[in-house]
Structure 1
Amino acid sequence: MNFQKLLSNRVPIILQKCGFKHYPPPPNFDNVEFPEKPKLKFIDKFPQLPPSVKAPKMQKKLRLMRGPEEVHNFLLHKQYGIMALGGGRLKWGHFEMMRLTLHRKLDSSKMFAVWRVDSPWQPMTKQGQGQRMGGGKGPIDHYVTPVKTGRIILEVGGRAEFKEIEKFLTDIANKLPFKAMAVSQEILDEMKRKEKWEEENNQNPYTLKYLIQNNMGGCNRWLSPTDTKYFSKYV
């Protein structure tokens, strides 16, 4: 039966086309350098002082949490990590939560994790329950680590893609006492590119920076020094 006869008889013709699959090559991790210890080290609950030194007390120093992080705001290994989106304090329990979660989820044969924050060092005092007001500054209750916006909390790297570790990094970020997110080097680059593009292509001249610098509506009377310095970008 020829082709013309098939068309005349209206017999359905099934034409199969064999196509080649073009998959992208897997990423190359030959340039990844592993540290000596792939797992997060244990963090002390309080700083180790000499026996003859009494632990000093300290003020709250809220400026340690305000504003942007200007030093530890990039990834050393250029792979993945957790970045703070707001200021706050990390307690010893948060360090243990991050360490134990990564020990359960991380495959140390092909991945590693490193701390990017100091161990708890700032003393926080607290008066005993049921005491009257006054009586001076209370005893040291615990130690914390202050964190600013944009600080990298920890880094994760190795022979793994971001999709493999994004889930448990996001889980850790949601349990922190401040807003945080799981990031990769590509995400950080995209955030910087987007921020620069928005600043260059903004068509509204009345930005918050312009309003504060020109005291529009007398806003400097009720704005705090932090708002005047950072133009209400970091709260």
Structure 2
Amino acid sequence: MISVLMIEDDPDFATLLSEYLVQFNIKVTNYEDPYIGLSSSIKNYDCLILDLTLPGIDGLDVCREIRQKSDIPIIISSARGDISDKVVGLQIGADDYLPKPYDPKEMYARIMSLIRRSKKQSNHGNQTINSSFKIDERKHEISYNGNVLTLTPAEYEILDYLIHQHGFSVSREQLVQHCKSLKDKDSKSLDVIIGRLRTKINDSSKTPKHIFSVRGIGYKLIG
């Protein structure tokens, strides 16, 4: 599950966003008091959503303080329309700026984009490695337990995306949108691709080792 820290003094707004994101296996922990948010263990979270208009302290100061002690991805979410706030926020370390009001779908997309980018930056060179899978982006190849898999373009794109989101649940919509080679953009085509991938890595849908179905959401890859 993805853990998001939110510092937002509007509890109704925070609850609305939390209820939307939980369907994508994203848990939001909100602090209305920015000082409590600052004292929380940042390392336990994958992303921070930060309001600027906060009680007792400006959100830009919170951003500065957090960036000094952590490289957590930061999304500033604010109703303040001054362009200088956006410019300063990005200059002092925020990774994104989303003005209020916004559609929760857009916040979800930005969270996933930032986490994906952060994970790529933590990898070394052109290879993404975990215990079983290795991606060689230069050769456009994916190996499983040291053996190069023979994949169609659509299979490569789906498996590549699942590996980069390792351990995180990915919605069916995300996978379909990400797969540019998928001509038939429906869930049945995705199920066929997942089935073929499971066959190629000797995985089972009933007792999976790697590709797990997440009820009501989509899939996640482990191992």
Short-chain TM bin: under 0.3
The structure with more radius of gyration: 1
More helix by percentage: 2
- Higher relative contact order structure (alpha carbons within 8 Å, sequence separation ≥ 6): 1
TM-score by length of 1: 0.25
TM-score by length of 2: 0.26
